[in-house]
Chain A
């Protein structure tokens, strides 16, 4: 039985899996100890649970437990990785490389460092959203200390060639950080196979709770050192002080374990579901454009521009379906998506874009409902659109159909 509203915004956040919640609950009440309390059973119990979760998170990405630093979320992880490495390795160089389509947690952290005297190269992306590896190679100088490139993009779901980037970074002796928030648990991701030195993770993007994340920090070949950005009791081997969020970490561990167990079957299921959505819409509507590479893409992501229709009005017409738009009207800045812009997609098509994020709890029935609903709303709004009328008349505003 179809239940409304339908949630298809799983890049923004995911619901907590009931199995995750079940694992967490005891740690709010009877097992409430502080993992740093060394002198009694309450503390030991909490510490044991945290260490088990640390192993589960490490296993998801091919790391060892000691390489996992728990944080409050991926924004903090990105800050710790980039600021921590920049400050620690400042004497070695002052140059960082990142990409224009990064999450703001990376871009704004880099901008902050620029004010402190660091020099940052923001690499462009190609039309399909992928970074140009030759441009990356060319950008590396003897002053480069860190490359930060996301594993998968949160808007268009484009999966970057992480292994190739890692190889280039390793060859040139530059540290490589990747924001793997959208990729980990969704596509194969292994820090050793990919030569990743630091990776940001978030629990709530993988059916865990909000408010907990992790930074993978490589301990061997090379050992990565970070200057902490939060001072205090020296938790997490001095890299992140603060009492550990034990229930959150337990949930994160369980969520990571479930993602690992189900990755192969779930990614196949989501890819089929995503293709059903794309094919359904393409079968019913003309002049729709998929933004970003279909080949190098997260299984659950679809980002489509519906030419001649403005995104916010489209969202209004499908109010029982939760998705996102790259339209300016839906953002705080009143600017259309900077990610789509960086890919060379015009502001007009960015205004017309919708991001679908399919997840673990979406069904074929829901996809079919969304296809029908969206197609009828797009058709209605196009009848109301002067741009569609002009285009049909062969008018002058045809650059929409890019």
Chain B
């Protein structure tokens, strides 16, 4: 199996690996996937409550190179976006950017799910969910 250059680049130099304090009221955490299926993504956003802008984003992923690249790319895109803008990120955008082959589309779907889950978690904490 060959990977696109962008997948390899994200795999070798993943952006924003790490964790934010999950009990912080300004942090939203999304944990999606299952180890049995070979993919688990944890994606976190730290939101400025006043502006509604995502100040920071972090991820940790158990999965193939494409899953790692999809989540790495997602965190890169999330930073500086408002929550509304963040929710506009679609899996097809990730597929296109990383040139994912058809068998790896589920990795991008998982990344989109993780974004939505993280934002939902933030809104719930803020009493908006």
Q: Which A residues are within 8 Å of any B CB, using their own CB?
A: 308-310, 312-313, 316-317, 327-330, 334, 336, 346-348, 351, 383-389, 397, 400
A313 and B36 contact, Cβ closer than 8 Å, known pairs A383-B17, A389-B60: no
Q: Can you list 28 A-B contacts with CB-CB less than 8 angstroms, sorted by A residue number?
A: A309-B62, A310-B38, A312-B64, A313-B65, A313-B68, A316-B8, A316-B65, A317-B11, A327-B38, A328-B38, A329-B38, A334-B103, A346-B36, A347-B35, A347-B37, A383-B17, A384-B61, A384-B68, A385-B60, A386-B31, A386-B42, A386-B60, A386-B61, A386-B62, A387-B62, A389-B60, A397-B35, A400-B35
The interface bits of chain B over 54-77 (1 if a CB of A lies within 8 angstroms of the residue's CB, else 0) are 000000111111011000000000
Asked if residues B36 and A347 are in contact (CB atoms below 8 Å), the reply is: yes
Asked if residues B60 and A310 are in contact (CB atoms below 8 Å), the reply is: no
Asked if residues A310 and B36 are in contact (CB atoms below 8 Å), the reply is: no
Asked if residues B64 and A313 are in contact (CB atoms below 8 Å), the reply is: yes
Contacts of B60 in A (CB 8 A): 384-386, 389
Quick one: which of A312, A389, A400 has the most chain B CB within 10 A? A312
Q: CB within 8 Å of A: which of B1-39?
A: 1, 3, 8, 11, 14, 17, 19, 31, 35-39
Contacts of A389 in B (CB 8 A): 19, 42, 60
Contacts of B37 in A (CB 8 A): 328, 347
Q: Which 3 A-B pairs have the closest CB atoms?
A: A348-B35, A386-B42, A312-B64
Point out the residue from B1, B8, B41, B64 that lies within 8 Å of A386, measured CB to CB.
B41
Point out the residue from A316, A351, A385 that lies within 8 Å of B3, measured CB to CB.
A316
Q: Which B residues are within 8 Å of any A CB, using their own CB?
A: 1, 3, 8, 11, 14, 17, 19, 31, 35-42, 60-65, 67-68, 103
Cα distance A316–B39 when bound, in Å?
A: 15
Cα distance A308–B42 when bound, in Å?
A: 14
Asked if residues A310 and B62 are in contact (CB atoms below 8 Å), the reply is: yes
A86 to chain B, nearest CB (A): 36
Chain B residue nearest to A351 in the complex (CB): B38
Cα distance A17–B64 when bound, in Å?
A: 35
A381 to chain B, nearest CB (A): 8
Cα distance A348–B37 when bound, in Å?
A: 7
Cα distance A105–B106 when bound, in Å?
A: 30
Cα distance A326–B56 when bound, in Å?
A: 36
Cα distance A199–B60 when bound, in Å?
A: 49
Cα distance A102–B6 when bound, in Å?
A: 39
A313 and B63 contact, Cβ closer than 8 Å, known pairs A336-B38, A387-B40, A389-B19: yes
Point out the residue from A329, A348, A383 that lies within 8 Å of B64, measured CB to CB.
A329
Cα distance A383–B62 when bound, in Å?
A: 10
A385 and B62 contact, Cβ closer than 8 Å, known pairs A310-B39, A347-B36: yes
Contacts of A330 in B (CB 8 A): 1
Contacts of B1 in A (CB 8 A): 312, 330
Chain B residue nearest to A312 in the complex (CB): B64
Chain B residue nearest to A397 in the complex (CB): B35
Contacts of B41 in A (CB 8 A): 386
Contacts of B67 in A (CB 8 A): 310, 313
A394 to chain B, nearest CB (A): 15
Contacts of B19 in A (CB 8 A): 389
A384 and B17 contact, Cβ closer than 8 Å, known pairs A312-B65, A313-B64, A316-B64: yes
Chain B residue nearest to A382 in the complex (CB): B62
Contacts of A383 in B (CB 8 A): 17
Cα distance A329–B65 when bound, in Å?
A: 10
Cα distance A383–B58 when bound, in Å?
A: 13
Cα distance A316–B40 when bound, in Å?
A: 18
Cα distance A351–B67 when bound, in Å?
A: 14
Asked if residues A313 and B11 are in contact (CB atoms below 8 Å), the reply is: yes
Asked if residues B62 and A308 are in contact (CB atoms below 8 Å), the reply is: yes
Contacts of A317 in B (CB 8 A): 11
Point out the residue from A312, A351, A384, A388 that lies within 8 Å of B14, measured CB to CB.
A384
B107 to chain A, nearest CB (A): 9
A348 and B63 contact, Cβ closer than 8 Å, known pairs A313-B68, A386-B41: no
Chain A residue nearest to B7 in the complex (CB): A316
Cα distance A327–B66 when bound, in Å?
A: 14
Chain A residue nearest to B32 in the complex (CB): A386
B73 to chain A, nearest CB (A): 14
B48 to chain A, nearest CB (A): 25
If A347-B35, A387-B40 are given as contacts, then 7 extra A-B residue pairs at C-beta distance below 8 Å, sorted by A number, are: A308-B62, A313-B64, A317-B11, A327-B38, A351-B35, A389-B42, A389-B60
Cα distance A330–B3 when bound, in Å?
A: 13
Chain A residue nearest to B65 in the complex (CB): A316
